[in-house]
């Protein structure tokens, strides 16, 4: 299969990525969009003002390749303040065009054709695409629903002489799982034993609701074998700004930076200034964002339960998973395709996050990063499903 054929096959019949396709469908049908994960309210006003101010102040030309020094310093300070991790802002921090570019640049920088990358499945869609673009091979290790616990024996069994990278994601999209210390320790011990480099996607690091987020790099033996990826998009509710970053040892950062410079060269100068302001916010302001989202999660979970849906536990992120088998539906993809016309709600079929969904075929992901009234409206429509009524024309 060519790389293009592989990428298209991963879209499972949608014209573009599932997220773009479903957001377009939401607009076309006037549906409530609980598909693509983006908030419908702005984040902290200071951060948004800082972006406007940066444009007015003339920060509109190419910034330095690794990111403006003030942002690299702010990222290093953040890692120190929250996690006690020390990074040299000049040699160990790289600013990227969102986490998406950081992931792509990492795969392209480190993988040779035929190398294997172990990932947790369900798998955020850009991982499999980036791995394919690098000519590498994805080795999924499934987090089985509904608990989504890590099976370290399965990870161990997936390690082969061709393993180049192990990639994890916590808090995890789409399941909402936050890996606990025992699971992360097991990964760290395996990585040290087998001398593996681990890529950790922590874009939802500030959206862990029920258990503290533990960065993998804080575990013994991990700091210099871990590539930590994060992004401002979720923390500050600005997913459209695409400011992400990598923290890693100098050698790994150099490798990723070498690739990044020929993907986008640099990115969004004024937004980088704004994220300096964001990362300088007092901790309670960032906690407020998480508290608000936790309330939204509880609201949607309670609504979905009241609508008779089978809701899986969610400890973080923007997302809740339901099993529509409880509605007598076996195919989440067909369910999501029909949902906008049936009741005016858009959701994402979780099957798109699996190489072979198998028993996960009936899972569906709903985003709760929306205003309370929007979630209420969606729940009212979903109740109609379980009562087999169809939305009357507006
Ligand atoms: N990783 C995960 C797990 C995500 O959910 C997302 C979605 N935004 C990304 C990476 C990409 O982040 P960004 O928008 O910063 O590129
Ligand atoms: N991370 C968000 C999600 O999972 C948005 C993804 C995207 O638009 N590529 O829905």
Round to whole Å and give the CA distance between 81 and 76.
9
Distance 36 CA to ligand 2 centre (A): 5
C-beta of 231 in contact with ligand 1 (< 6 A): yes
Structure token pair of residue 367: 């985003």
329: alpha, beta or left, given left = phi > 0 and alpha = psi -120 to 50? beta
pTM for the structure as a whole? 0.96
Q: Tell me which residue has its CA closest to atom 5 in ligand 2.
A: 37
CATH code of the domain made up of 3-42+284-387? 3.90.1150.10
**Ligand minimally distant from the alpha carbon of residue 233:** 1
In angstroms and rounded to an integer, the radius of gyration of the C-alpha atoms of the chain is 20
Pocket test for ligand 2, best of 37, 127, 234, 235 (most atoms within 8 A of CB): 37
Domain residue ranges in the chain: 3-42+284-387, 45-281
Handedness of CA 127, 132, 134, 136 (dihedral sign): positive
| Residues having CB within 6 Å of any atom of ligand 2 | 17, 19, 36-37, 173
pLDDT at 366: 98
Which atom of ligand 1 is the closest one to the Cα of 102? 16
**Ligand minimally distant from the alpha carbon of residue 367:** 2
Structure token pair of residue 23: 């957001």
Distance 335 CA to ligand 1 centre (A): 25
Q: Tell me which residue has its CA closest to atom 2 in ligand 2.
A: 37
C-beta of 106 in contact with ligand 1 (< 6 A): no
Distance 368 CA to ligand 2 centre (A): 13
Q: Tell me which residue has its CA closest to atom 9 in ligand 2.
A: 19
- Beta bridge mates, 167: 119, 199
- Cα dihedral 57/58/60/66 (nearest 10): -70
Round to whole Å and give the CA distance between 165 and 199.
7
Distance 125 CA to ligand 2 centre (A): 8
Q: In this structure, are residues 347 and 241 in contact, taking their beta carbons and an 8 Å threshold?
A: no
Which atom of ligand 2 is the closest one to the Cα of 36? 10
Which atom of ligand 1 is the closest one to the Cα of 101? 16
Q: Tell me which residue has its CA closest to atom 3 in ligand 1.
A: 173
Distance 7 CA to ligand 2 centre (A): 16
Q: Tell me which residue has its CA closest to atom 3 in ligand 2.
A: 37
CATH code of the domain made up of 45-281? 3.40.640.10
pLDDT at 345: 97
C-beta of 170 in contact with ligand 1 (< 6 A): no
C-beta of 353 in contact with ligand 1 (< 6 A): no
C-beta of 203 in contact with ligand 1 (< 6 A): yes
Query: Of 44, 115, 38, whose CA–CA distance to 367 is shortest?
Result: 38
Distance 357 CA to ligand 2 centre (A): 19
Q: Helices marked H in the chain — which ranges?
A: 3-10, 18-29, 45-56, 69-83, 98-110, 125-133, 152-158, 181-194, 232-235, 250-263, 269-279, 283-306, 332-343, 372-386
Query: Of 218, 146, 159, whose CA–CA distance to 184 is shortest?
Result: 218
Query: Of 222, 223, 122, 134, whose CA–CA distance to 169 is shortest?
Result: 122
Summarize pLDDT for 201-254 with one digit per residue, the tens: 999 999 999 999 999 999 999 999 999 999 999 999 999 999 999 999 999 999
Q: In this structure, are residues 271 and 241 in contact, taking their beta carbons and an 8 Å threshold?
A: yes
pLDDT at 296: 98
For every one of its 394 residues, what pLDDT tens digit does the chain have, with 9 covering 90 and above? 888 998 988 888 888 899 999 999 999 999 999 999 999 999 999 999 999 999 999 999 999 999 999 999 999 999 999 999 999 999 999 999 999 999 999 999 999 999 999 999 999 999 999 999 999 999 999 999 999 999 999 999 999 999 999 999 999 999 999 999 999 999 999 999 999 999 999 999 999 999 999 999 999 999 999 999 999 999 999 999 999 999 999 999 999 999 999 999 999 999 999 999 999 999 999 999 999 999 999 999 999 999 889 999 999 999 999 999 999 999 999 999 999 999 999 999 999 999 999 999 999 999 999 999 999 999 999 998 877 544 444 4
pLDDT at 12: 84
The number of angstroms, rounded, from the C-alpha of 222 to the middle of its chain's C-alpha atoms is 21
């Amino acid at each position: 299969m060519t790389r293009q054929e592989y990428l298209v096959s991963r879209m499972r019949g949608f014209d573009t990525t599932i997220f773009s396709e479903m957001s377009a469908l939401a607009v076309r049908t006037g549906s409530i969009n609980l598909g693509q994960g983006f908030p419908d309210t702005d984040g902290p006003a200071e951060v948004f003002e800082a972006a406007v101010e940066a444009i007015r102040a003339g920060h509109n030309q190419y910034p330095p390749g690794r990111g403006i020094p003030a942002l690299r310093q702010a990222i290093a300070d953040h890692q120190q303040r929250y996690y006690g991790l020390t990074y040299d802002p000049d040699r160990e921090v790289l600013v990227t065009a969102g986490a998406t570019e950081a992931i792509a640049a990492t795969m392209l920088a480190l993988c040779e054709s035929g190398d294997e990358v172990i990932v947790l499945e369900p798998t955020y869609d850009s991982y499999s695409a980036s791995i394919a673009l690098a000519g590498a091979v994805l080795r999924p290790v499934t987090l089985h629903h509904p608990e989504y616990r890590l099976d370290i024996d399965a990870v161990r069994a997936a390690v082969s002489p061709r393993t180049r990278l192990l990639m994890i994601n916590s808090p995890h999209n789409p399941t909402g799982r936050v890996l606990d210390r025992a699971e992360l320790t097991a990964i760290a011990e395996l990585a040290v034993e087998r001398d593996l480099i681990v890529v950790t996607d922590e874009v939802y690091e500030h959206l862990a609701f029920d258990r503290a987020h533990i960065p993998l790099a804080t575990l013994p033996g991990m700091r210099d074998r871990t590539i930590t990826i994060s992004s401002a998009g979720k923390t500050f509710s600005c997913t459209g700004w695409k400011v992400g970053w990598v923290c890693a040892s100098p050698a790994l950062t150099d490798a990723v930076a070498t690739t990044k410079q020929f993907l986008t060269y640099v990115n969004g100068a004024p937004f980088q200034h704004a994220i300096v302001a964001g990362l300088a916010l007092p901790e309670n302001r960032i906690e407020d964002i998480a508290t608000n989202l936790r309330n939204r999660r509880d609201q949607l979970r309670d609504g979905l339960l009241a609508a008779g849906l089978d809701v899986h536990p969610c400890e973080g992120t923007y997302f809740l998973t339901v099993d529509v088998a409880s509605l007598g539906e076996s195919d989440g993809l067909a369910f999501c395709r029909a949902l906008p016309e049936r009741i005016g709600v858009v959701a994402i079929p979780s099957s798109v996050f699996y190489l072979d969904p198998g028993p996960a075929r009936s899972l569906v992901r709903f985003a709760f990063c929306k205003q309370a009234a929007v979630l209420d409206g969606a729940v009212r429509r979903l109740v109609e499903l379980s009562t087999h009524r169809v939305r009357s024309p507006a």
